[in-house]
A = this chain, B = another copy of it.
Amino acid sequence: MIRELFTTIAILLLPIMLSANDGYKLWLQYYPIENPQAWQQDMLKKVSIAGENETLDIIKNELNIAAEGFFGQNPSFSKENPSLVIALKEQLPSYLASKASSKLGEEGFHIFSSDNQTVITANSQFGLLYGTFRLLQEMQKSNPLSETGIVDSPKVQHRVLNHWDNLDRTVERGYSGFSIWNWHRLPRHIDQQYLDYARANASLGINGTAITNVNANALILTPYYLEKAQALADAFRPYGIKLYLTARFSSPIEIGGLETADPQNEAVKQWWKDKAKEIYEYIPDFGGFLVKADSEGQPGPHNYGRTQAEGANMLADAVKPFGGIVMWRAFVYSENTPDDRHKQAYNEFVPIDGEFRENVIVQVKNGAIDFQPREPFHPLFGAMPNTPLMMEFQITQEYLGHDTHLAFLAPMYEEVLKEDTYINGEGSEVAKVIDGSLHNYSLTGMAGVANVGTDRNWTGHHFHQANWYAYGKLAWNPWESSEKIAEDWIKLTFTTEREFVEPVKKLMLNSHEMVVNYMTPLGIHHIMARSHHYGPGPWVTGGGRADWTSTYYHNASEKGMGFDRTLSGSNALEQYTPELQEKWGDLDLVPEKFLLWFHHLPWEHQMKSGNILWDEIALHYQKGVNEARENIKTWKNLEKHVDKYRFEHVLSFMEIQAEEAEWWRDAVLLYFGQYSGLPLPEGVEPPKHNLEYYMNIDHKFVPGI
């Protein structure tokens, strides 16, 4: 052991001390471009920026850093025959304005060449900022500019990070240290990290952030904290990022001194109106409220026999005069409802479709249960044509191995976005619900539960920076492909060398499926350890809530396993369109990745592969383990392409992942094996310990709860 560690140390030491790359710079590395073409260097030599404001200062600064990093040169900023022109369309000379696209909208941009000039234009300063970041990203990737240039604009209005950060700086489901919001030093100290955070988001087009936990503390709405929130909003504003706060539904009681929080009570309504007015005095462009109500112990309209719409509308009316919106989460379920938890949100919200104010958007998790490694899309998508719905993805890996398990999540997001709801017949993909085109929503949005913390590289695992990046890119364009996202991120973060890019891309694109294989293959779900969800816990049963146990979800017995959501079971299937009921309800048609999500099947069930279910399950777990081991080999072969610091950090996390993949395989197969009574098929390694050993593992102070 000692010897081992020392080698690690010896290896680690030199590089970091000489030229440390702790990953803080994320995908904005701006490393030197090898043999750059002349036109690239020229482009950043003489820059003309029309006007003066903080956002333009940021653009200027960004060009400085990039030119410095790419070519070791500093641009001169002047209006005389510039090589790069950055100006609003209205500021362009007519001969250039005429060439600019007319479909830029408020945040879009057009990058094009004209004679010897490159032009970045837009209808707003934030469009210019996004265009600048895009141009620099294309340069880093060494992509030439096409004839037509680049015309792009976001397909989703509200691209918002959700921070489950508490006021004591702990982060619920956070694994990369603690909250980057230092409330105690705010508002008087604006930490550079706040600006670097805003910059990173702007480089992806993220335009909003909800900085407090959805399990909310009413104190955030008191002047003591509003003054602090204001300081953050002021810091984010020039980056085009709006600030949102989570509203605890019972705030009128807790900080307002009222007896009730009933949304139909006039005093309560007035209290929220006054509170909103107060907030807007601190933050004139406050984005609005994010609310988790009637869920997991949070107060809500149910406490007063009111609907979710009545609750949401009260808050919506309060922020309406100031242009704010309410993001109301659909994650509503109760242990008192006997029904399959899968069905509850649908049952609660579909009947009130259309009853929400126009400045309310209902925020729906990608799946009906809770951010499992794989879930079918949430049946609400497509089911509320008269109520804008936004997507909530989880970037932080609550159920995906926490921060040490490499899982590139873009494929998971993409799988859901590209799934067809068949609501308006074929081609009614979830992405069309999110971009609003399917139902002509007046509001659109996508939320991502942030994975950033105080770790020096922001996200714990260096590769989890890619999930922040992927969320941003998909929020901008839900149709973006995982492969492009992966390739771009690799090139921006590490290098453009093919020998590195290709294998790493392959590894990333397979990583989510790998995690599914060793955690919850074939539609198995929610069998993680209790409460902290770290590691396997298929044996978790009993306690206050059945729907918080594993046995509730896997129903394993001598007869087999799986959750029957067909007609013979909870019939959650009925919440999907007939096309999907037919497909997913039919054992011959259902994709095996969803098999045990919808069906309870005997251990001997015949799979397409010819294996019986039990063998197929076991082989998936083994496959996941093998893939995790394979990643280590792949990564080791790439050592010469990566700086030592990040190489060693990633390697050590990959070793933890491979070890924990075995933990998952052994624990789960031993547990289910009790019921199947069947031997492990050939090719599956025997477990290292007995079931009791795994059931007795008790990790202390697991982060994130």
Contact = CB atoms under 8 A, between A and B. Distances in A.
B183 A701 contact: yes
B235 A9 contact: yes
A700 B219 contact: yes
Interface string A219-248: 100001100001100110110000000000
A54 B64 CA distance: 41
A1 interface: yes
A169 B14 CA distance: 28
Contacts of A38: none
A167 interface: yes
Which of A192, A237, A659 has the most B CB atoms < 10 Å from its CB?
A192
Interface stretch (A550-558, A569-577, A650-658): A650-658
Interface stretch (A16-24, A110-118, A300-308, A592-600): A16-24
A interface: dominant SS:
helix
B192 A16 contact: yes
A190 interface: yes
B177 A12 contact: no
A61 B184 contact: no
Give the number of copies in the complex.
2
A224 B699 CA distance: 8
A456 B238 contact: no
Contact of A454 (B454, B652, B653): B454
Contact of A178 (B22, B54, B195, B454): B454
A189 B656 contact: yes
A8 interface: yes
A225 B18 CA distance: 33
B234 A5 contact: yes
A203 to B, nearest CB: 12
Contacts of A5: 190, 231, 234-235
B57 A10 contact: yes
Interface in A177-199: 177-178, 183-185, 188-190, 192-193, 195-196, 199
A192 B2 contact: no
A13 interface: yes
Contacts of A64: 14, 17-18
Interface string A677-705: 00000000000000000000001111100
Which of A12, A167, A237, A653 has the most B CB atoms < 10 Å from its CB?
A12
A40 B684 CA distance: 63
A241 to B, nearest CB: 13
A444 interface: no
Nearest to A283: B2
Given A12-B195, A177-B454, A224 B184 contact: no
Which of A13, A54, A224, A230 has the most B CB atoms < 10 Å from its CB?
A13
A648 B235 CA distance: 15
A640 B394 CA distance: 45
A344 to B, nearest CB: 33
Nearest to A190: B8
B65 A234 contact: no
A10 B653 contact: no
B702 A58 contact: no
A213 interface: no
A673 B225 CA distance: 32
Interface in A122-154: none
B6 A192 contact: no
Interface in A33-75: 54, 57-58, 61-62, 64-65, 68
Contacts of A196: 16
A649 interface: yes
Interface in A616-653: 645, 648-649, 652-653
Nearest to A17: B65
B168 A701 contact: yes
Contacts of A456: 193, 456
Contacts of A201: none
Contact of A54 (B6, B17, B225, B237): B6
B234 A188 contact: no
A18 B701 contact: no
A230 B24 CA distance: 29
A219 B700 CA distance: 9
A184 to B, nearest CB: 5
A169 B231 CA distance: 27
A195 B238 contact: no
A54 B14 CA distance: 12
B9 A184 contact: no
A421 interface: no
Contacts of A184: 699, 701-703
A404 interface: yes
Contacts of A645: 192
A454 B703 CA distance: 15
Interface in A557-591: none
Given A5-B190, A6-B238, A454-B178, A68 B13 contact: no
A61 B189 contact: no
Interface in A417-471: 454, 456
23 contacts: A1-B234, A2-B234, A5-B231, A5-B234, A5-B235, A6-B54, A6-B234, A8-B190, A9-B195, A10-B57, A14-B61, A16-B195, A17-B62, A17-B64, A20-B24, A167-B700, A183-B700, A184-B699, A184-B702, A184-B703, A189-B652, A192-B648, A192-B649
The 6 A-B pairs with the shortest beta carbon distances in the complex, nearest first, are A5-B234, A17-B65, A168-B701, A454-B454, A189-B652, A188-B656
Given A12-B190, A13-B57, A17-B65, 19 more contacts: A1-B230, A5-B235, A6-B234, A12-B195, A13-B58, A14-B61, A16-B192, A17-B61, A17-B62, A17-B199, A20-B24, A167-B700, A168-B701, A183-B700, A189-B649, A189-B653, A192-B645, A224-B700, A454-B454
